[in-house]
Amino acid sequence: MKKRRIAVLALSGMLALAACGNSEDAAEQDNTAQESAGEGIAAEYPDSRLVRLGKYDGVEVPSISTEVTDEEIQAQIDNLLASYPESVPIEDKTVVEDGDIVNIDFTGKLDGEAFEGGSSNGEGFDLEIGSGSFIDGFEEGLIGKEVGTSFELPLTFPDPYTPNPDLAGRDVVFEVTVNAIVEHVTPEWNDEFAKEYTGFDTAAAYEEDLRSSLQQQKETDAAAQREYEAMQAVIADSEFECSEEELQSLRDSRTQEYETYASYYGLGLDDFLVQAMQMTREDFDSEVEQWADFQLKCTLAVDAIAKAENITVSEDEYQTGLQTLADEYGAESAEAFEEQYGRSTVENSLIYDKVVDFVTEQAVEI
């Protein structure tokens, strides 16, 4: 089963798979589905009069390479090596300056007691001065300190402090020891490194597994991209009538999803977009608009193709698909999943898959 169903189910939930229809049509859909149990089921989609289909049999799609190159393998290895830098002490440097990487041990205390998550546990910790990794005043407090010295830093946690609200606004004392000023050196890629950090006995064994994983991922991505390109070709050659109301409903729902993501990090949407996605609100709104347009037109096109080609799901296909969906979404049971989403929504999702497969399998690579 294909993960593209996630988008379809989300769309189904928002529009009750009656994107350009009405509530009476949706009720009729459910009744029709129940009466058709045990037979081939042609689930009802939005009013197909709202789409004038163009070509959908043998649409052209770009060829997508799934070759894994040596350069891609090396890039993955380089990223892995960069994640485990070796700390080499700079012997002739003894006073901490801004921009230095300093190996320290520290223990944070609140009311004289060490607090959870505030200690290096004697293992040493590499901190780049000026990185902003610690609370205000900590890194600045290390500047000018000499290697081998121990001292206390009285500081105050910011308020609010999302990682640990219990510390928000509290006065604490950090006991700090400067172990060394170090430089990070990229380790050598060899069997010893591979065994320690990848779980493979040799570098060659890791590379073989990496190539296989990348190949599988490329093939999966290429298949998904081919489906997308095929449906885009259908949409481009068809004509649609979709109301602004339904498009705005999709935009609002999509935006709300990301507002929820942002709230998990204690951020507003605009800040979340910049910090987590390196995207402006204007760019985000533009992408959401394109997404909504594609989702709605794709649903209408799928409906029209399903009717034109009499694409249905049998009861056996429905039960198999329902169980697979329930497993993918982590539902307690197939029955619970069906109760949550409704039979017609599940049927429409399965028909959607069959239609997209139908279009994609007949697509011609150019």
Write out pLDDT tens, residues 1-44: 454 443 444 444 333 333 333 333 433 433 333 333 323 333 34
Q: What is the pLDDT of residue 27?
A: 36
Using alpha carbons, select from 292, 286, 298, 287 the residue that is nearest to residue 230. Answer: 298
Using CB atoms within 10 Å of the CB of residue 144, give its burial: 0 to 12 exposed, 13 to 18 middle, 19+ buried: exposed
Q: Percentage of the chain with pLDDT > 70?
A: 87
Q: How far apart are CA 287 and CA 308, in angstroms?
A: 31
Residues of the chain short of pLDDT 70, as ranges, are: 1-49
> Residue 2: what pLDDT?
54
269-289: per-residue pLDDT in tens? 999 999 999 999 999 999 999
pLDDT value for 12: 40
Q: What pLDDT, on the 0 to 100 scale, is given for residue 47? A: 54
pLDDT at 243: 86
Give ∠ CA 236-238-241 in degrees, rounded to 5: 110
Give alpha helix (H) positions in 86-150: 138-142
pLDDT score recorded for residue 50: 83
- Sorted by where each starts, the structural domains of the chain and their CATH numbers stand as 5-59+237-365 (no CATH), 86-185 (3.10.50.40)
Torsion of the alpha carbons at 54, 59, 60 and 63, rounded to the nearest 10:
140
